[in-house]
Amino acid sequence: MHPFQQPDLGSAAAVARGMRLYRDDEDRRMVRAFTTDMFADFTVVELRDPERIEAAGQYYSNLQMEAMEPGEYTIQFSVMEITPGLGGPRHQIPAPRAQVVWKVAGQQTRRLMSIYSGAVIGGLAEAVHVKLQDQAGAIPSLSKGGTYKVVGMLTRGTRPPAMQPPILVTQPAIEIVNGGSQRFAVPVDSGVISFYPQVVPVNPTDGAFDPSLVRAYMLSGGGTVISGITAGAGSFIPVPVPLVPGTHIVEVFNSWTDNVWVQLVWGIEG
């Protein structure tokens, strides 16, 4: 080409090259957002047995991407346009959870996580599919008739360290009597790597409650104790406890002089 001759920007090769560069740049800066309309779904029956964590209920597709460039991706969720159900209090919080399936080289990695505005999860993938399930029948949330929207936003890159890792809540707080215990099954194929028990007294007394008298033990499938920890200082500053490999059940014992409320929160990898 003559040094003063302008390139043929209209040629098919030039257009294809420009489109390829544009697509590559778009992939590097990729942001995809998907919105799903949700409602308080009471077909998800209350989980009265904490050892059952897989509730039956309708899953709704939220985000699905195929043929992505292999790499690290992050999904951030937002919950918006909340309409309380009839007869319920004005301030109600939805309780959806997400099933995130990362796919790479034909292999799938499944994660379950509770959804709230700001919830984030990351993973390695070349494809991803997110489904949502409302938990109104299992966890106190919206009254019947309540509606809301969930937005899932997919971006390139890892989860920023400043953002909290994903968590999973599978049932409401359970009352454990003095001297009693309660077993909680570790969610299967969900990416659980840690847990922490939120513990508060049923009948609060200023300065009297001693959380060190509530202990949690990690058990094998056969019920053998693998490890044990003190539940910690109530629900105010929970500290995640790494789950020892081989743990199938977490059993919480209450040695406090009164009954306590206990809710287990599972930490999810991602």
- Report the 3 state secondary structure along 199-251: EEECCCCCCCCCHHHEEEEEECCCCCEEEEEECCCCCCCCCCEECCCCCCEEE
- Domain end (from 103, 133, 164): 164
pTM of the model: 0.80
**Dist. CA 162–CA 179, nearest whole Å:** 39
Domain count, the chain: 2
**Dist. CA 162–CA 74, nearest whole Å:** 14
pLDDT at site 109: 94
262 part of a folded domain: yes
Average pLDDT over residues 135-148: 82
The per-residue pLDDT of the chain, averaged, comes to 80
**Dist. CA 109–CA 101, nearest whole Å:** 6
Whether the pLDDT of residue 168 is over 70: the answer is yes
Residues 109 and 235 in one domain: no
- Domain end (from 146, 164, 182): 164
Which parts of 84-162 are beta strand (E)?
96-104, 107-114, 120-125, 127-134, 147-156
Instruction: Decide if 244 contacts 174 (C-beta within 8 A).
Output: no
The domain in which residue 227 lies consists of 174-268
Residues 157 and 180 in one domain: no
- Domain end (from 128, 144, 164): 164
**Domain CATH code at residue 180:** 2.60.120
Could you tell me whether strands 174-176 and 127-134 are parallel, antiparallel, or unpaired per DSSP bridges? unpaired
pLDDT at site 89: 64
Residues 96 and 186 in one domain: no
Residues 68 and 183 in one domain: no
**Dist. CA 220–CA 245, nearest whole Å:** 9
**Domain CATH code at residue 119:** 2.60.120.510
pLDDT at site 231: 54
Whether the pLDDT of residue 154 is over 50: the answer is yes
Residues 155 and 178 in one domain: no
Structure tokens at 105: 């080289």
pLDDT at site 148: 93
Average pLDDT over residues 170-194: 91
Structure tokens at 151: 């937005």
Whether the pLDDT of residue 129 is over 70: the answer is yes
Whether the pLDDT of residue 117 is over 80: the answer is yes
pLDDT band at 170; cut points 50, 70, 90: confident
